[in-house]
Structure 1
Amino acid sequence: MNRRMKTAVLGAVLLLTAAGAGSAAASGDDRREAAALTGTAKLNRSAGDDITFSFDAHLATKDTDDPLKATGTFQWSHYRGGQGAWAKAKVNCLVTGGKVAVVSGVITDSDLPGAKGKQVGITVHDLGSHDRLGYSWAATGTPVESGDMPKCVSSAPFEKVKAGTGDFTVVPWQPKL
């Protein structure tokens, strides 16, 4: 076989190998995690509130059947007129379906008195440039006033993300049912 032919054969083999790997990844055979919620965005509030939410939540493939084994953190801040608070939570549950995620966790650090140790949940709808968000304390005012919350509970994603700030990404969960 001459050098040109060997090069052509090698090129064809590399293309076929790459195509096969791409289709395996696209079919979900090579997923690195069972579910995920990542990204940061500001909420759109007409009153001028400065509200930011950030997520880094993951469920490993080996834990596909147990969303309570999710790991990571999420945080948020809410300020208006020089007053407000921030909080950071350790993830203890992550459930996703399509482009919607519900993540919950326990607040590990905050400057809001009484917030540490409180269970909270947040819902994200990943809609590209029109993401939406909801949170478990929507009806109570603050996480401190929410009372005892179970894991993986939140509200509907009723808040709109401020244009140009949303970059949430939801990896859909596909448990073995």
Structure 2
Amino acid sequence: MKRRTTTAALCVALLLTAATTGAAVASGPHESHAGHAREAAALTGTAKLYRSAGDDITFTFDAHLAAQDDDDPLKATGTFEFSHYLNGKGARAKATVDCLLTGGDVAVVSGVITASDLPGATGKRVGVTVHDLGRHDRLGYSWAATGSPAETDGLLPRCVGSAPFEKVKQGTGDFRVVPWQPKL
């Protein structure tokens, strides 16, 4: 009888622990803490892209849409940077975010290049799409279809990127997407 009582008590304790843990997991990492509203959307992190030729390609994001701007992704703030080097030659650029849209684990961010060592790139808008898949993130960028940002004639529209066709180099992906949940 004592064994059945002990087993029943253990089962109840495990069920309570599972229920409590399940509620904590269900609330997710994007929920508010200590009464603060969570930001409406975000894209953060750094990763290198995989290239068999050994290209050194890095993307870093720090893009945010504040809770009070939930209805307007054009009010996103932050920066993102990217660089591409092979055999010591290449370029880097830094852009100021002008739009951020996220849905589930996918984010599209655009921004205007404010600093670059690629002649003609400063002042041009670029867009990037990230698929946050844990350590297997993927990424796509507008210039895959439009050509070098330095060579585009007009400004790319805000929040335009390409499908995330590039693979992140193993062990480097730490992109984090906070999904946008607008009030519709």
TM-score, structure 2 normalization: 0.80
User: Which residue pairs with 1:132 in the alignment?
Assistant: 138
User: Which residue pairs with 2:159 in the alignment?
Assistant: 152
Cα distance in 1 for residues equivalent to 2:47 and 2:147: 20
**What amino acid maps onto 2:175 in structure 1?**
F
**What amino acid maps onto 2:108 in structure 1?**
V
Cα distance in 2 for residues equivalent to 1:68 and 1:147: 22
CA contact (8 A) 1:137 1:145 kept: no
Are positions 1:26 and 2:27 aligned together? yes
User: Which residue pairs with 1:8 in the alignment?
Assistant: none
Cα distance in 2 for residues equivalent to 1:160 and 1:94: 21
How far 1:31 moved relative to its partner? 3.8
Cα distance per residue 1:82-105 (max 9 Å; x no partner): 110000000000000000000000
Cα distance in 1 for residues equivalent to 2:139 and 2:169: 11
CA contact (8 A) 1:49 1:80 kept: yes
Are positions 1:38 and 2:44 aligned together? yes
Cα distance in 2 for residues equivalent to 1:31 and 1:44: 36
CA contact (8 A) 2:120 2:151 kept: no
**What amino acid maps onto 1:170 in structure 2?**
V
**CA RMSD in angstroms, aligned pairs only:** 1.7
Are positions 1:93 and 2:91 aligned together? no
CA contact (8 A) 1:136 1:146 kept: no
Aligned 1:1-177 pairs, distance under 5 A:
26=27, 28=31, 30-148=36-154, 149-177=156-184
Secondary structure at the aligned position of 1:105 is classed as strand
**What amino acid maps onto 2:164 in structure 1?**
P
Secondary structure at the aligned position of 2:40 is classed as strand
CA contact (8 A) 1:107 1:115 kept: yes
**What amino acid maps onto 1:102 in structure 2?**
V
How far 1:141 moved relative to its partner? 3.3
**What amino acid maps onto 1:172 in structure 2?**
P
Secondary structure at the aligned position of 1:139 is classed as helix
Cα distance in 2 for residues equivalent to 1:63 and 1:140: 30
Cα distance per residue 1:60-96 (max 9 Å; x no partner): 0000000000000000000011110000000000000
How far 1:145 moved relative to its partner? 2.3
Cα distance in 1 for residues equivalent to 2:91 and 2:129: 20
Cα distance per residue 1:25-84 (max 9 Å; x no partner): 927465420000000000000011100000000000000000000000000000011110
TM-score, structure 1 normalization: 0.83
Unmatched 5+ residue regions in structure 2?
1-19
Cα distance in 2 for residues equivalent to 1:61 and 1:75: 24
Aligned length, in residue pairs? 156
